[in-house]
Structures are given as structure tokens and as C-alpha cells.
């Protein structure tokens, strides 16, 4: 096992969670794509939506006192609101395989989704559609996982406080922990933030805003406090979206706390986070595959750890695209 940024053992990625597979569809020509987390046997789910500009589908279904308790997939996608159409393809893929909630004489797959805005870096007329959602589901694997500029992370950027052209390339990242109880907790995060990505252990600015004249790294928080943010900065163009998964047997109330602490990991690694211009959203799912009794406190704390690590991996595995540098290139 490797070490995460908080010096805790890691089993690497979210696909190490039993019952989970992940697939991507990537369009490098238009710099967009989508990623799907499949749990076809069903998983109890919850969601925590923060920030001022979210783009989501089926999140109301995951609130307290709702009838439907399980989902069959979670979609993370580029393309802003247009990209939500990719969920239709995931539903069709699952329905063709008899997966879904029984309702009358048919099965209806439950596929909540969240979007990020990547139209400012690639082709603004291109966005994931139902075919892309279908292919992402078809590509899902549980033995390996690609990170960086793939899937929903294809057009992701960070440090956009001075505009996207002064940002840096980001992507999608993952991390996981195996607790002493044998339970596994993993995260998959597409990082498309207004703020900078900072290693919470060292305080190092890993990727973020750059000075328009010198190209030197500048602090997003500093720019905001100095009122140097352009008035043309568009709301809704920044979002960090992700999924935390565990094989523990948890209730929706338990998972609501897991999703909440996932945002703690975001706030530790993205500064600032949850702003009016971001639409940060985290889903939490539990596949109930682990034979041991769950420790909801440990699982919720682990959620913050794996999210923080996944965010760092999202920028460190990204490569230069769209005339933007990556963290690895600038080191």
C-alpha cells in the first residue's frame, strides 16, 4: 500500500471499493468528456451540494425521507448543463442489462449526475451526449482507472480567479483507504475550481492562478481580497464534483455525513472553495459488500482524506492542454 498526503495507507483508487467500476469517455479534440461510477447491484446514496452555481440531475431524489434509497450509477460530466444528457445513455446501458429499480413492469436505472463547465477551454459547441454516457458505462472497469485529462476531467481547469487563460490544467483524480476494520473508502473527483489547489500537508500551491504578464503563480484568495478579480468572471464556470464510495453497510443518514465531510477534504485542498462562483457537489454511496460492522465516524473522516488526496492527484496527473500549463510541467 502507498501513502496518501496525510500519511495514511492507501489502496490507490475508487475501483478498489468492492462493487464499484468506473468508465470514461474522452474527447481530446473538443476537450470535454464524462465519467461514470457504476454500482449495478444498487448502492444506498446521498448528496451534499454547496457553492452558488451547481448543475445537477436527480439530487432531490437523494434527500432525507425520499422513497428511493439506491442508485445504480453516478455520472460526472463536462459540458455544463448540456452534459446532463449523457445520463440518458448511462440509463439506457443499464436498462438493456436489466438493471434498475422495479416499477410496474419495467426496471428504471437511477442515475444522478453533476456537471462542470469546460466550454471555455475547448469547443463551446461540443459537450457529452447520451452516446458518450453509454460508452462511458461500456468502458467501466474495476481493475484499473485512468486519471488526469480523461472523462469529466478532460477540460477541467483550476485557478480561474483571473480568467481561464490565466488558469492551469487540471483533471480527474482518485484515492482510497482501507480502514483497520477492512472497510474501503474511495473517492473520484473532477477538479474545475475557481481557487488554487494546495497540498494541505505542506501548504504548497500545486496548481492555480497565474499572473497575466509574468506567468508567475499568484494566490486566488489574495486576488479576491485585493479586489483584482475581473468583473467579467462568469458565475457557474467553476465546479469541483465527485463521488465517495465505500463497501460498508450505511444508511442514507450516515452517507449524508460522509458527503458533508467529503467537502471538508475539498476545503483543505482547494482555496477558496464553495464560493458563489463554484457549484461544488459530492455524492456518497455504499455498496454494503464489507462483511464487518461499519464505523460511520471513521468512514466519514476517511472521506475527507481521500477527497483531499484525489484532488491533488487530479492536478498532478493532468497534462498541458488548451494552451494551459499543467502542475507537472511547471515543477
Q: List the chain domain ranges.
A: 2-330
The CATH architecture of the domain made up of 2-330 is: 4-Layer Sandwich (3.60)
- pLDDT tens per residue, range 145-197: 999 999 999 999 999 988 888 899 999 999 999 999 999 999 999 999 999 99
- pLDDT tens per residue, range 205-257: 999 889 888 888 888 888 888 875 554 455 558 899 999 999 999 999 999 99
DSSP string computed for 200-247 = TTT--EEE--B-TTT--B--HHHHHHTT-S-TTPPTTSBEEEEEEEES
- pLDDT tens per residue, range 26-78: 999 999 999 999 999 999 999 999 977 889 999 998 987 788 889 999 999 99
Closest by CA position to 266, among listed 294, 289, 243, 298: 243
**142 backbone φψ class: left, alpha, beta (φ>0; ψ -120 to 50):** alpha
Q: Who's near 262: CB < 8 A, 6+ residues apart?
A: 48, 187, 242, 244, 282, 284, 303, 304, 307
Q: Please give the C-alpha separations between residue 123 and each of 32, 33, 56, 114, 117, in angstroms, as whole numbers.
A: 8, 12, 22, 20, 12
Quote the percentage of the chain above a pLDDT of 90.
Answer: 67
Q: State if pTM tops 0.85.
A: yes
How many angstroms separate the CA atoms of 152 and 30, rounded? 12
Amino acid at each position: 500500500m502507498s501513502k496518501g498526503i496525510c500519511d495514511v495507507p492507501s489502496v490507490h483508487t475508487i475501483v478498489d471499493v468492492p462493487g464499484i467500476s468506473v468508465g470514461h469517455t474522452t474527447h481530446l479534440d473538443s476537450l470535454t468528456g464524462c465519467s461514470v461510477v457504476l454500482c449495478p447491484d444498487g448502492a444506498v446514496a446521498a448528496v451534499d451540494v454547496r457553492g452558488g452555481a451547481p448543475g445537477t440531475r436527480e439530487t432531490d431524489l437523494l434527500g432525507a425521507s425520499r422513497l428511493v434509497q439506491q442508485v445504480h450509477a453516478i455520472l460526472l460530466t463536462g459540458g455544463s448543463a448540456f452534459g446532463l444528457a449523457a445520463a440518458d445513455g448511462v440509463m439506457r446501458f443499464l436498462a438493456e442489462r436489466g438493471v434498475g429499480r422495479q416499477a410496474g413492469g419495467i426496471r428504471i436505472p437511477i442515475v444522478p449526475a453533476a456537471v462542470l463547465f469546460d466550454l471555455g477551454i475547448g469547443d463551446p459547441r461540443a459537450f457529452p451526449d447520451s452516446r458518450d454516457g453509454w460508452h462511458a458505462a461500456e468502458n467501466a472497469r474495476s481493475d484499473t482507472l485512468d486519471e488526469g485529462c480523461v472523462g469529466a476531467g478532460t477540460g477541467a481547469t483550476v485557478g480561474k480567479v483571473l480568467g481561464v487563460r490565466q488558469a492551469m490544467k487540471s483533471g480527474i483524480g482518485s484515492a482510497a483507504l482501507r480502514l483497520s476494520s477492512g472497510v474501503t473508502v474511495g473517492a473520484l473527483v473532477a477538479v474545475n475550481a475557481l481557487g488554487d489547489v494546495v497540498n494541505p500537508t505542506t501548504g504548497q500551491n500545486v496548481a492555480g492562478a497565474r499572473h497575466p504578464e509574468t506567468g508567475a503563480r499568484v494566490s486566488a484568495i489574495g486576488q479576491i481580497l485585493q479586489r483584482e478579480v475581473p468583473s467579467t468572471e462568469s458565475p457557474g464556470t467553476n465546479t469541483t464534483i465527485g463521488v465517495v464510495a465505500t463497501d460498508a453497510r450505511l444508511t442514507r443518514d450516515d452517507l449524508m455525513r460522509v458527503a458533508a465531510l467529503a467537502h471538508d477534504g475539498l476545503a483543505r485542498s482547494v482555496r477558496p472553495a464553495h464560493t458563489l462562483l463554484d457549484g461544488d457537489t459530492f455524492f456518497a454511496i455504499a455498496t454494503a459488500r464489507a462483511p464487518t460492522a461499519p464505523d460511520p465516524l471513521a468512514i466519514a473522516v476517511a472521506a475527507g482524506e481521500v477527497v483531499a488526496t484525489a484532488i491533488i492527484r487530479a492536478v498532478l496527473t493532468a497534462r498541458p492542454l488548451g494552451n494551459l500549463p499543467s502542475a507537472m510541467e511547471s515543477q
